[in-house]
Structure formats: C-alpha cells, structure tokens
Chain A
Amino acid sequence: MTYAVHHLVTLALAWAAGAVMARSRWSVRAPRTGVLIWQAVALTAIMSLVGVALAVGLSPYRLGVVPALARFAADGWAGSLPAGMSAGHLLAVGAGVGLAGWLLAAFGLTCRALAGLRRRQRTLLRLVARPDPGAHEALVVEHPAVAAYCVPGRQATIVLSTGTLGLLHADELAAVLAHERAHVKERHDLALLPFTVLERAFPWIPAVRLMRRQVAALVEMRADDRAARAHGRTSLSSALRRFRASDRLPSPAGTLGGAEGDIDARLDRLTTPTRTSLPLRTLLLSTALTVASTPLSLFLLPM
C-alpha cells in the first residue's frame, strides 16, 4: 500500500506545482525553464495516476509496479492468481493498464494527424509556393492574408504569405524569420507534442487544455527571445504590433481564441525585459526533476 500512498503524494505534488505554475509570472521571464517544468509536471501526473491504480491493484504481490505487473501477467497466463487478489484489485489493474493504453492510443493518433497535416502542407507548398526572392530561405505563398509559420520536421520549411511580406519592413521580417528558425532549431513542435497528446486524451479536463495553452505561449516567448537577441527587441515588437493591428480571423465557437491576449503578453515582456536569476531557475528545475523522477523509481524499485 505504501507505493500507492507515494504515488498519491507525487500526484498531489504535481497538481500543486501545476497550480503554482499556472498562476506564477516568473515562467514568462524564463520560458525554457517554464516549458521543462511543465513537462515534468505532466510526466509526473501521468506516471503517478497510472501508478496509483497499478499499485493498488497489484498490492497483493508486495513488489514494485513493474516486477509485480510481470508476475501478474505470468500468473494470469497460468490461470493461478494469488489468493489475496480480489475483484477490486483486478479492477484497479484494469484501470491502470486502460489509462496507459488510452494515452498510448492518443499519442499514436496525434502523431498520425500531425504528420498527415504536415505532409499535406509540404505537398501543397511544393506546388503553389515559390522560394523567397530575398533569399530568406523561406517559401512564399501568394495570398493577402498575413501568415508566417513553419512546417516543423527534419526538413523544416518556413512559410510567408505575400500579405506578410507587404506588411513588414526588412528588419521586422528578419526578426520574424529568426523567430521561426528558433522554432525549427529547438524542435518546439516536439516540446509541445506531449501536451497536444494529453489534450486529445482528456479533452474534457480544463486543466489539460490550460497546460497546453501555457506551454504554447511559453514556446512562442522562447522563440521571441532568440529573435530579439539576433535582431533587437524593437524590430520584433514592431512586427508583433503590425500583426496585431491587422484584422483577425474570428475564432470559431468552441475554440479558445485569445491569441490577441498572447500577443499582448509577448509585447509586454519585450518592452520591459527582466530575467530570472540562474540560481532560482536551477532550483526550480531540480525540484521539478526530482518530483518527476520519484514515480519513475517507484515503478522500478522492488520493495
């Protein structure tokens, strides 16, 4: 039973850490650390959720989760479960395995959907986009709407619309391209992936959606930082202001919208830059990693 209690404690810790993260302002100042901590929080929450169910269900074995699960599978195959194994225990094991399977399925489906969308983008780009004459290693799509984005992957592509080219001055465009290059180089698509998976697995939990949005915003800020370092805060923030000034696509019902608020937050931190001290970031990060590694060790350690 101690395993289950441990998992419950780490689950509560992850929840508390998430609640603090959702409200705190410092992550805006150190977005990369913020993303890492969110990843630790999510990993911990999942591991301990699965862990609680399995630890309760497998408690008759008095073993760590993984060895107990192996023994349970062998016993189940042989048709001789231990006497202490009640229907309640079996139900808990089923819940744990089911949850893990559900998450794996969500992971697979998300990867497939994203790969499909990106493949279609690449195919269409190959047919209708042209290399940017300014040799900005970007592809240009002829359309008045304003869009600047990248298709991530091993052969990532940065895409600009002619609307964007018409909107921005040369220095602003350079900053925007640096922003996209940062997404590509640091594989921000992979940083976001676990949260997209979670949102697909648990679309009815508001906290999951909140987490995905926060990480998405932090990733943008991280890319902003790199762009500002290379091309100056002024160029980047004036590019952002131009984007905000153009009319926006009204968000369809049922979506979060609120991208305008995100742009405001990004502008705020560009105009009044502050940085969280390195010791503080180190402390936060090591705390997060400790919390995340606890359920992992609980899975593997025998009693």
Chain B
Amino acid sequence: MNSLGDLERRIMDVLWSTGSWLTVRDVLNQMSDRDLAYTTVMTVMNRLVRKDFLLRERTEDGRTWRYRPAAGREAYVAELMLSALSETGDRIAALGHFARSVTAEEAEALREALPQDRTRERP
C-alpha cells in the first residue's frame, strides 16, 4: 500500500471518528504525524472530495473549507462485501474467490447499510 493511499485512509479515519465538519487544520491537528505538511493533507483531502468520499463547504467566515465524509465507513464496507459476496454476472467474474458465506441477517444488514447512505441527502 503506497503512502499516499495510507494517508487517505488515515484522513478518512479522523473524519469518520469525529462525525462533524472539520477543516484541514483540524484534521492535521488530530493526526499524530507531526511531519505532515498542511498542503499535503489539503491536496489529499481535495482529491477525496473529487472522488466523492468527502463533502466540503465554506466555513461561516467564508474563507476556508470544512469537510465531512459523504457516507459512513460501514456503507463502504457493505459495498465492498456485497460485491465480494455477490454470485451474479460481472461481479463474480471481477474477483477470484476462495468461497463465500454469509448469514441471512448479515446479508440483510449489508443491503440496508448500502442504500441508506447512498441516498442520504447532502447538506
């Protein structure tokens, strides 16, 4: 896993664990890595915005941006698992499986986690 990907994950973790709007400075302060440059974090966060993993809006003073996750962590885990557990068409061809198994409740929970977060209204 490359370091930039690693940084993406750590930034998302900070935002997922807070659950509120954060500025780049807030995120940077919550990361243990003191050597990280402000601009690096900002670049990665804006990339996450472009990929639709983060939403951003202007702060009240209108001078800086603040960010929050577009969906919860569970929604992405659910999407990942659903396509891994799927037994249909392209999805099964896309991944090489050893075997799959899931209980009925787990399957139900996965399906519920998915559309709710997908259709959640964006502020």
Q: Does A225 contact B (CB under 8 A)?
A: no
Residues of chain B with a CB closer than 8 A to A152's CB: 95-96
In this assembly, does B87 line the interface, its C-beta being within 8 Å of a C-beta of chain A? yes
Cβ of A94 under 8 Å from chain B: no
Q: How far is the CA of A212 from the CA of B83 in the complex (A)?
A: 19
Tier of interface size on chain B: 35 or more
Contact A114 B93 (CB under 8 A): yes
Looking at A22-30, A49-57, A123-131, the stretch in contact with chain B turns out to be A123-131
**Would you list which residues of chain A between 104 and 156 have a CB under 8 Å from chain B?**
110, 113-114, 117-118, 120-121, 123-129, 131, 141-152
| A174, CB-defined interface residue at 8 Å | no
| Interface residue count on the A side (C-beta < 8 Å) | 60
B94 lies within 8 A of A117 (CB): yes
B 71-97 contacts with A by CB, 8 A:
73, 76-77, 79-81, 83-85, 87-97
Q: What residues of A have a CB within 8 angstroms of the CB of B88 in the complex?
A: 252, 255
A144 and B106 contact, Cβ closer than 8 Å, known pairs A114-B93, A255-B87? yes
Is A183 touching B96 in the complex (CB atoms < 8 A)? Answer: yes
Residues in chain B within 8 A of chain A (CB atoms): 1, 5, 8-9, 12, 51, 53, 73, 76-77, 79-81, 83-85, 87-104, 106-107, 110
Q: Which chain A residues have a beta carbon within 8 Å of chain B's beta carbons?
A: 110, 113-114, 117-118, 120-121, 123-129, 131, 141-152, 159, 161, 176, 179-180, 183-184, 188-189, 192-193, 196, 199, 216, 219-220, 223, 239-240, 243-244, 246-252, 255-257, 259, 263
